[in-house]
Structure 1
Amino acid sequence: MTTLHAPTTLHDPTTLHAPTTTLHETRAIAPDVLEQLRERDDAGATRRPVTDAEGGAPLRCCLRRSAAGERIVLVSYAPLRRWAAGTGAEPGPYDECGPVFIHAEQCAGPAGGPGYPAALHGARRMLRAYDARGHIIGGTLVELPVERAAEVDEVLRGVLADPAVALVHVRAVEFGCFLAEVRRR
């Protein structure tokens, strides 16, 4: 059972079923914000692009992993601050700035549909729910193997069923990194 108002809850993956419709959309970082981040990130720094020799970096511009040889840049990004600026919310201490990988130059953006970006899935993800003020109101820990990543859409539907939830941030558990934003459609 998932309780959104508990600090962290574990969703039972054995109860998941493949979703029939996706009533939410997963958003990459917007192209205009990406341009700003490439010039000066949310920590106020200008970062240098690198060639990703091995590939595998989780790219927040196109919601996939980098390929070997692609030019990427690691920038500081404040997703809640950016969202709050557009909504008039004041997240206060919930405003976080952290590292994200993006392409060094403009890319085509996400190729997938509106659902959960399975290409960025790891075995453990936190779905952090925020209210309209930008305050954390709960989190759901999802522990699913990569081959079952599509089932996260069902968990997201459950989280977004709570009318107090305005948006959800998908984060990596190990490093706390922001991966994507999810909102109702």
Structure 2
Amino acid sequence: MSLRYIPMSDAEARRMREGGLDAYGNAPERQISDGDGVPCRHCLDYVEAGAPYLVFALRPFSSLQPYAETGPVFMHAEACPAHDGETLPPILSSRDSYLLRGYGPDERIVYGTGDVITREQLETRANELLARSDISAVHVRSTKYSCYQCRIVTA
């Protein structure tokens, strides 16, 4: 099965860069990267040391419902190309472990699918989850702070 790594949309990235309000109704905060683990949710690569980035609340769901988690994310303050979706993103190849969760077509967590997995297990576990008929997407989160990284679907 071929996996696709879905970043935040170009439209949402542009809206935030233009000062749009985040999921909590706040303007994004502008900061300067120290180069130590500032993952951009648009290009799915790291913000380089000395480069400006935005911090804002993202809700990576299309509807408001109890499972539509919202949390802080980072993104390059200047335009960056969206990740191509086809290759393993740099932000998913640099940590020791990740939290994966399966979601159904209704964007709700499918219980029993949440797992902390090693970097080496990421693609295998995503394929296992996406092979199930009740799972339409997998969300990847950091294990340290549970921050949303990206969504994985099948191509």
Q: 1:182 — aligned with what?
A: 152
| 1:137-148 to 2 correspondences below 5 Å | 137=110, 138-144=113-119, 148=120
Residue 136 of structure 1 aligns to a residue in which SS?
A: coil
Report deviation, 1:115: 3.9
Q: Distance in 2 between matches of 1:55 and 1:140?
A: 25
Question: Which residue of 55, 71, 75 corresponds with 1:74?
Answer: 55
Q: 1:8 — aligned with what?
A: none
Q: Distance in 2 between matches of 1:115 and 1:159?
A: 19
The amino acid that maps onto 1:128 is R
Q: 2:80 — aligned with what?
A: 107
2:76 pairs with 1:95 = no
Q: Distance in 2 between matches of 1:123 and 1:55?
A: 15
The amino acid that maps onto 2:66 is P
Report deviation, 1:30: 0.8
Q: Distance in 1 between matches of 2:118 and 2:48?
A: 25
Q: 1:117 — aligned with what?
A: 89
Contact 1:55 1:69 in 2 (8 A): no
Higher helix share goes to which structure? 1
Q: Distance in 2 between matches of 1:99 and 1:113?
A: 22
Report deviation, 1:93: 0.6
CA displacement 1:11-62 (0-9 Å, x = unmatched): xxxxxxxxxxx51200111110112233211111012312213343111111
Rg larger for: 1
Q: Distance in 1 between matches of 2:11 and 2:107?
A: 22
Question: Which residue of 64, 70, 84 corresponds with 2:45?
Answer: 64
**Structure 2 runs not aligned, ≥5 long:** none
Q: Distance in 1 between matches of 2:87 and 2:35?
A: 27
Pairwise CA RMSD: 1.9
- Alignment: residue pair count: 150
Q: 2:13 — aligned with what?
A: 34
Q: Distance in 2 between matches of 1:60 and 1:153?
A: 19
CA displacement 1:94-139 (0-9 Å, x = unmatched): 01110010011221222x6514324334112111110011110121
